[in-house]
Amino acid sequence: MLGPMSTTPPSDFARLRRKHQRGAYDRETIHAILDAAPFCHIGHIVEGRPVVLPTFHWRYGDEVLWHGSAKSRMLLTPGEVCLEASVLDAWVLARTSFNHSANYRSVVAFGVPRLVEDPAEKLAAMKGFLDRLFPGRWETLRPPTEQEIKATAIVSLRLDEASAKMRAGPSGDNPEDVSWPTWAGVLPVHTVAGAPEPDPHVTAGLVPPPAPLASPLARPAPSPRVA
């Protein structure tokens, strides 16, 4: 289980080796990175082979959820998964190729996900997914049908074995290289939302919600797991 402000890895498997000083294992750090990352990757073993797929995720407390088709291998293959989510904050240019780097925040978590089967929990989780991206939008929509709920599978992974890694700051050139005459420094990276493009059926006067990537996704899913 993640401890508050824990600096101890939850397992030897999840212990950072290289650049371990960039690591963290506390709940607050791991939660914040998961909330800031727009999507994650799920790695799992299918028919003995590794498969890694991108998918959107959301979080309640110490659980991270993802969803998809009720026929999806990603959701229904039993067994352990590895979840990864990261945010690229900047390119870091140095005076040697060796010292080039990036500023980032990332999370890796291991565990066996649980299929969310309770109908009330499932509906609340579907709402939570949308609430994270577009707060208040669920209430404006046609309610989901039973068939739509049935066609959706949701799984939940407890963050019991997770690690975070972060890099921030300038490039790390060796002192003897800093006078080398090439530009070095940090190129910040931001994801910017474009202008909305309404579909032809939008009723006049309706306005689009703000795009989630226009403001940082730094929030957990606001609704409770079970309505």
Binding-site ranges for ligand FAD (CB under 6 A)? 13-18, 86, 88, 102, 104, 106-108, 163-165
Half-sphere exposure of 122 (CA within 13 A, CB side): 20
Specify the residue for token string 């050139």: 173
In whole angstroms, what is the distance from residue 14 CA to residue 37 CA? 20
Task: Decide whether 72 or 106 has the Cβ nearer to ligand FAD.
Answer: 106
Task: Decide whether 102 or 130 has the Cβ nearer to ligand FAD.
Answer: 102
Distances from the Cα of 167 to the Cα of 17, 20, 87, angstroms: 15, 11, 11
In whole angstroms, what is the distance from residue 65 CA to residue 125 CA? 8
Query: In 3-state terms, what secondary structure has residue 89?
Result: strand
The tokens describing 116, both together, are: 């969310």
| Phi, psi dihedral angles at 121 (to 5 degrees) | -65, -40
